[in-house]
Structure 1
């Protein structure tokens, strides 16, 4: 191999030197080492691909598990903030209470029928959403072969569902706030 170096690019005077046999050998050895390193890298990547393919579950089960985990977290959040369905049920109970007590009910009965039933209905609907969130999250957690992030989202859904269930139960049974009482 005959290599020449020029220094014209740096602005110095043009000097050319021919590489001797020792330099040729060094270049060939370095080229061989670079080729071996490149081969090792591709072999390592192939080995990593083989390891990953053995550990990862099929894509179809991963997508379903991820979707279920996200649904459980969303349902848990919705159970804590309230739902449109809960609002509709609450308004229905308010209307029924107004119809039942229209003019003949005592103040205590009106409070119970108009406000208490609506309050309890909202808590019941939010509790159902919490139970569904908790159930879906536990289902995702007990199925094997889920990636770590899917399990983390499912744990978040379970925590939100459990918290929503506690709050709904406390609201339904008037543990946090009781209904107002009628003055004498």
Structure 2
């Protein structure tokens, strides 16, 4: 809205007449022209602030996108470590295959000529130890992955929680596997019993 007046009006009177609008200009008054120029500069600065705010928001979004990308990888590693640890505790398909192979090898070695103690050791003991060894390897991998996730900085709390669970389960699986491998929990039966 462009209002031209012949008399000189001050900024307060102009704001009062036009509801605080700073668009009014008067003919021939340098002070009013200066006010209009200043208002235009302020509007341009506000626009620049809005643009720079948008730029900083977009850069913050891109930074958080990078963090979320690394957070996804860390989260996946934490879940994998917990899954590997659970598998190490319950047993793996690979452990079963290795155990059955050791049983077959033991039967072949002791067929016809082995004593009962040799048969127990070759057929059952080696199979148990092989299963414990395979499960121990899975537990060790789970523990290493979990510790690697925990050592890396700046992860969400749920990633740390899952990694801690993977580390605890992996450590427990490693202890159980070592105890089974070295016959600490249950010893092999003897031929007389």
Native 8 Å contact 1:93 1:117 kept in 2: yes
Q: What TM-score do you get using the length of structure 2 for normalisation? A: 0.67
Alpha-carbon offset, residue 56 of structure 1: 8.2
Mapping for residues 91-110 of structure 1, pairs under 5 Å: 91-110=100-119
Alpha carbons of structure 1 residues 108 and 117: separation in structure 2 relative to 1, 3 Å = same
Secondary structure of the corresponding residue to residue 182 of structure 1: coil
In the alignment, which of 95, 99, 110 is matched to residue 86 of structure 1? 95
- Which of 166, 174, 184 does residue 183 from structure 2 map onto? 174
Cα distance between partner residues in 2 of 1:90 and 1:133: 21
Choose the corresponding residue for 2:167, options 140, 158, 171: 158
Whether contact under 8 Å (1:57, 1:146) holds in the other structure is no
Task: Name the CA distance, whole Å, in 2 between partners of 1:167 and 1:183.
Answer: 28
d(CA) in 1 for partners of 2:179, 2:94 = 20
Query: Quick check: 1:123–1:168 contact (8 Å CA) kept in 2?
Result: yes
* Number of positions where the alignment pairs a residue of Structure 1 with one of Structure 2: 136
Using the size of structure 1 for normalisation, the TM-score is 0.70
Deviating beyond 4 angstroms after TM superposition, the runs of 4 or more aligned structure 1 residues are 52-57
Structure 1 equivalent of residue 4 of structure 2: none
Matches within 5 A, 1:22-171: 58-171=67-180
What whole-Å deviation, never above 9, does each CA across 1:59-80 have from its counterpart, x for those lacking one? 2201100000000000000000
Paired with 1:107 and 1:58, the residues of 2 have a C-alpha distance of 62
How much is the aligned-residue C-alpha RMSD, in angstroms? 2.0
Q: C-alpha offsets along residues 65-122 of structure 1, whole Å, 9 cap, x if unaligned? A: 0000000000000000000000000000000000000010000000000000000000
Q: Which has the larger radius of gyration?
A: 2
